[in-house]
Amino acid sequence: MSQTPTADQLRNRLVDAILAEHRMPAAVERAMRTVPRDAFLPGLDLENAYTDQAVTIKDNPGKPLPLSCASVPSVVAMMLEQLDARTADDVLEIGAGTGYNAALLAELANRGSVTTVDIDPDVALHARTRLNANGYEHVTVIERDGLLGAPENAPYDRIIATVGVWDIPATWWDQLNDGGRLVLPLRWRGQTRSVALTRRGDQLVSDGMELCGFVPIIGQHGEKISPLNADDTIRVHYDEDQDVDPNSLAATLQMGKPALEVHSAQRVGGQEPFDGVWLRATAGDDRVCRLEVTPQALEQELLRRPAIPVRSPVLVEGDSLAYLTITREGAEAERPFRLGAAAYGPRAEELARDLVAHIDAWGSDRLAVPRMTITPVGWASTAGHVIGKPESRITLTY
Active site residues: 74
**Cα–Cα distance, 255 to 58 (Å, whole number):** 41
Dihedral sign of CA atoms 152, 85, 163, 245 in order = positive
**Cα–Cα distance, 339 to 325 (Å, whole number):** 6
Residue 284 pairs in a beta bridge with none
What percentage of the chain's residues is helix, strand, coil (to nearest 5)?
30, 30, 40
Q: Left (φ > 0), alpha (ψ -120 to 50) or beta: where does 203 sit? A: beta
End-to-end CA distance of the chain: 58
Residue 5 per-residue DSSP state: P
**Cα–Cα distance, 135 to 103 (Å, whole number):** 9
For the beta carbon of residue 9, count every other beta carbon within 10 angstroms. Answer: 13
Alpha helices in the chain (DSSP H): 7-21, 26-34, 46-49, 73-83, 100-108, 121-133, 170-175, 246-254, 276-282, 295-299, 348-364
For the beta carbon of residue 252, count every other beta carbon within 10 angstroms. Answer: 20
Nearest to 189 by CA among 238, 240, 249, 243: 238
Say if residue 157 is exposed, middle or buried (CB neighbours under 10 Å; 0-12, 13-18, 19+).
Answer: buried
**Cα–Cα distance, 179 to 280 (Å, whole number):** 28
**Cα–Cα distance, 146 to 214 (Å, whole number):** 15
Say if residue 325 is exposed, middle or buried (CB neighbours under 10 Å; 0-12, 13-18, 19+).
Answer: buried
